[in-house]
Structure 1
Amino acid sequence: MSEAYDIIKAHYAASDRGDLDGMVEAFADDIAWTEMDGFPYAGTYVGTDAIKAGVFGRLGKDWKGFRADADELVDGGDGTVVAIGHYSGTYRATGKAMRVRFVHVWRVQDGAITGFEQFCDTHNVRQAMG
């Protein structure tokens, strides 16, 4: 597999063990991270600090046991890697659990993650929140 594939695989491995520093280790300074419209944290966050505060920090605060498990990684070539997997967790405010499929599209250039775009069933996420 490619260097890009290995970098993204390492990101999910860090996520699995709860290692935030490992998750962001390969982030480019100007990484653009896009949470899709309809998702609770929708928008594009630029830079590691913005992603930690706007996405990871909120997920940890709002959800108990939140996980993003990549069931399959597809090496698209030219620095593109696609992850197919599922989110799971329990929304703290309602006590409702969810399990939702996702697709993540990653962009890697010169050994650094430069982009991330999320696709998922936002309706099922919001049902757990309501």
Structure 2
Amino acid sequence: MKTAFDMVKAHYDANDRRDMDGMLADIAPDCRWTEMDGFPCAGTYVGPQEVFRHVFQALGEAFDGYTFTLERLLDAGDDVIAIGDYSGTHRQTGRSFKARVVHAWRVADGKIRRFEQFTDTLRVAESMR
């Protein structure tokens, strides 16, 4: 069985390849995925289909070149912490941004059960004005 660290790393590796199926592969049907209040797709979404529609698809429609760049991945057993940067250019305004971000992951019973994002939402919002 893959460890929590292995699952989260596989998600980011798939992200680097632009492999959406790989990104969603280990997300449990009841996973609670939370995007921070103030972020363009703020809210909590349940399951891979909602995550795809309300997060990945929504960000792809709103931003050109939207990217998460992983700097560090910290192994804490069933919890994994990712530290990195978001960047992109808002399609309507043409303004770019770069923002620091932390992702907190929780894995249980061989699946990703929880994700929570912490980021500088002001940097993203400024690109949208």
Partner amino acid, structure 2, of 1:103: V
Identity %, equivalent residues: 51
2:108, 2:70 → 1: CA distance? 21
Say if 2:34 is the partner of 1:40. no
Residue 68 (structure 1) shift: 1.0
TM, length-normalised to structure 2: 0.96
Partner amino acid, structure 1, of 2:105: W
Tell me which residue corresponds to 1:112: 111
1:111, 1:70 → 2: CA distance? 23
Partner amino acid, structure 2, of 1:100: A
2:76, 2:120 → 1: CA distance? 23
2:67, 2:110 → 1: CA distance? 25
Say if 2:123 is the partner of 1:124. yes
Q: Note the residue ranges of structure 1 that are not aligned, 5 or more in a row.
A: none
Tell me which residue corresponds to 2:67: 67
Secondary structure, counterpart of 1:95 in structure 2: coil
Tell me which residue corresponds to 2:9: 9
Residue 119 (structure 1) shift: 0.1
Partner amino acid, structure 2, of 1:27: I
Secondary structure, counterpart of 1:31 in structure 2: strand
Residue 123 (structure 1) shift: 0.3
1:62, 1:38 → 2: CA distance? 15
Runs of 4+ in 1 over 2 A off after TM superposition: none
